[in-house]
Chain A
C-alpha cells in the first residue's frame, strides 16, 4: 500500500511534463509557451525532490547524525539551483517577449519569424 503511494509523485511529474510539452508545442502565444516551460520546470523539480525522498529518512547532516537512512542531499542542492536558474531564465524570456511586442506589435509565434528571410 505504502510502496504504491511512493510512486505517485512520478505520475504527477509525467503529467506536468506532458502538459508543459503540449503547451510549448501547440500554443502560438509566446507567453503561453513560456508558461509551458515553467510547468516543465516545476515538473522536473518535483522529479528531483521525489527522487531524493527515502521513507523514514532524516535530514542529511553528517555531524551527530543518528545511524539511520538519510534523504539524498545532492538532488536538493540541484533543485535549489534549478529553481534559481529557472527564475532567471523565465524573467529573461519574459523580457524578450516584452521587447518583441514592442518591435513587432504581436506575440503570436506564427508571426514572429522575421529571421527566416
Chain B
C-alpha cells in the first residue's frame, strides 16, 4: 500500500478511527486511552508531514475516492466522485491545524486529568480535528457541507464539555444556532450552484462559472458563501459567538476552536480563488473582504481593551487578528487580473497567508498560557490576578513570547508577517496601513494590560507553583515552532507560503 498517495485520506481517516476507538478501547485502562489519543494525534501529524514533503518536493495531486487509481484517469467519472485536493494550499492549512492540534492535545493530558468521561473529550477533540482537515482538504461542495457540519457539532460538543458550568452550555448553544443557520445557507448556495451547473466539484464549477459569470445565481451563491465562512471565521459583525465560545470552552479545546475558525478562513480563500475565478469581479469580493477585515481589526481590538476576563480578552484579540488576514487577501484580490495577481498583491497574499500559520501558532500559545494561569490560580478576572511571574517563570516567558508576537514586536514572527501586510496594504491605500498600525499599537496596549495584571507586581501567593510538566512541554513545543518562524521567516515564506499561493493558480 502506497502511504504517500493515500496521505490526504489518512489525515482524515486516522483521527476518525481513533475518535471511535478511544471510547471503545479506552474502557480497558486509562493509560490505553491516553496512548490512543496521543497515537491519533502523532499519526495525523506524521501523515500531514508526509503529504507536505511530497507536495513540496514532487508536486500536488488530486485524490479520488473509489477510482482504481487516484489519478483522475477519466475526468467525467472522476469528477463526479469524491475528491480531495493535495496541493500547496492544503499543505499550509493542514500544517497549521496539525501544529495547533498537537500542542493542544499534549496540553490536555495534565489539564483534563481530573475530569470524568475523558474518553468522550478525546473523541470530540479528534472529531473536530478530522472535521477541520476535511474542510480544508475537500475538493467539492457536497463534502464541504458534510465536514462543515461535523466540525460544528463536534466543536459545540467540546465547548459544552464542562456542562456543569452553565456558561459553557450557553456559549455552545449560541455557536450551534449560528452554525446550523450557516450550514443551511451553505446548503442553499450549493443547491443554487448545482441547479445551474449540475456539478459540485470545485474545478468543474469554476469552469462553468467562467463560462457565464454574469448570472444572478452566481452572485447569490457567492454572497451566501462569503457570509457563511466569514461567520465561521469570526469576522465582525458576525463575531459575537467567538468570545463566548473561546472563553467558556474547557482549556485545551480553545485553541482547537480557534483553529476551526482559521480553517474556515482557508476554505473561504479557496472558494474565492478556486471556484469564483477572475471573471467574477475579484475587485468587488476584495472590497468586501477589506471592509470586513478593517471592521474586525478595529472592533475586535477595541472590545479587547475593555475586557477584564483574561480568556475573553485574548478571544477578542484573535478576532482582530483574523481581520489582518482578511484585509491582506482582500487587497490581493483587488489586483487580480487574467495574468494573475501582480505587484503588491503578491506581497499582500504572502503576508496574509504567512500571518495565518503564524497566527495559528502564537494564538494557540497565548491561549494555552492563559489557560495555564487559570488552571494554576482558579481565577480568570484580571482585577484579581497578579504577581504570578514569581512562581510561574516558564509560563510567563511563554505568555510573553506569544503576546509580543501577536502585537508584532520586531524580532518575533508576528512582525515579519505584519510587515508584509503593512507594506502591501500601504500601496493599495495608505489609510489601511495606518489603521493596521494603530490596531497593532492598541494590541500592544491590550497585551500590556493582560501581562502586567496577571504576571507582574508583588507576589500575592495566588499559586502554589508552576503548572505540571505536560502543559509546559505543550507550550514549549509551540514556542519552538514560533522561534523557528521567527528565525527563518524568509524560508517559511519561500517554502510553504509561496507554493500555497501557486496552488491557488494566481501566480505562475
Contacts and interface: CB of A to CB of B under 8 A. Distances in A.
A96 B167 contact: no
B195 A51 contact: yes
Given A81-B145, A81-B146, A93 B191 contact: no
A109 to B, nearest CB: 9
B483 interface: no
Contacts of B163: 99
A77 B198 contact: no
B167 A77 contact: no
Contacts of B177: 24, 33-34, 37, 93
Given A78-B145, A99-B160, A37 B169 contact: no
Interface in A74-102: 74-75, 77-78, 81-82, 85, 88-89, 92-93, 96-97, 99-100
B142 A24 contact: no
A47 B188 contact: yes
Interface centre among A24, A37, A74, A77 (most CB of B within 10 A): A74
Interface in B176-225: 176-177, 180-181, 183-184, 187-188, 190-191, 194-195, 198, 200
B191 A96 contact: no
B363 interface: no
Given A78-B142, A92-B153, A48 B170 contact: no
B173 interface: yes
B65 to A, nearest CB: 14
B156 interface: yes
Contacts of B157: 92
A96 B176 contact: yes
Nearest to B171: A115
Contacts of A24: 177, 181
**Main secondary structure on B side of the interface with A:** helix
A69 interface: no
A29 interface: no
B187 A115 contact: no
Contacts of A37: 177, 180-181, 184
Contact of B166 (A48, A74, A103): A103
Contacts of A77: 142
Interface string B301-317: 00000011100100000
A44 B188 contact: yes
Nearest to B241: A115
Nearest to B198: A72
Q: Is the interface of A mostly helix, strand, loop or mixed?
A: helix
B248 interface: yes
B186 to A, nearest CB: 10
A112 B170 contact: yes
A80 B6 CA distance: 28
Interface in A15-33: 24, 30, 33
A80 B174 CA distance: 26
Interface in A103-117: 103-104, 112-115, 117
A82 to B, nearest CB: 6
B187 A74 contact: no
Contacts of B170: 100, 104, 112-115
Contact of A78 (B190, B243, B247, B307): B190
A44 B183 CA distance: 10
Contacts of A88: 153
A117 B313 CA distance: 12
B87 interface: no
A40 interface: yes
Contacts of A104: 166, 170
A24 B173 CA distance: 13
Contact of B191 (A33, A78, A81, A99): A78
A114 B153 contact: no
A117 B312 contact: yes
B244 interface: yes
Contacts of A100: 166, 169-170, 173
B181 A78 contact: no
Nearest to B159: A96
B503 interface: no
Nearest to B148: A85
B136 interface: no
A89 B149 contact: yes
Nearest to B307: A117
B72 to A, nearest CB: 18
A75 B194 CA distance: 8
Contact of A115 (B183, B188, B194, B248): B248
B169 A103 contact: yes
B244 A115 contact: yes
A38 to B, nearest CB: 10
Contacts of B181: 24, 37, 40
B467 interface: no
Given A93-B176, A117-B308, 15 more contacts: A34-B177, A77-B142, A82-B187, A85-B149, A89-B176, A89-B180, A89-B183, A92-B156, A93-B180, A96-B176, A100-B169, A103-B165, A104-B166, A115-B243, A117-B312
Interface of B: 142, 145-146, 149, 152-153, 156-157, 160, 163, 165-167, 169-174, 176-177, 180-181, 183-184, 187-188, 190-191, 194-195, 198, 200, 243-244, 247-248, 307-309, 312
7 contacts: A75-B194, A75-B195, A78-B190, A81-B142, A81-B146, A100-B166, A115-B170
List of 9 A-B pairs having minimum Cβ-Cβ separation, nearest first = A103-B166, A96-B173, A115-B244, A99-B169, A51-B195, A85-B149, A89-B180, A48-B191, A44-B184
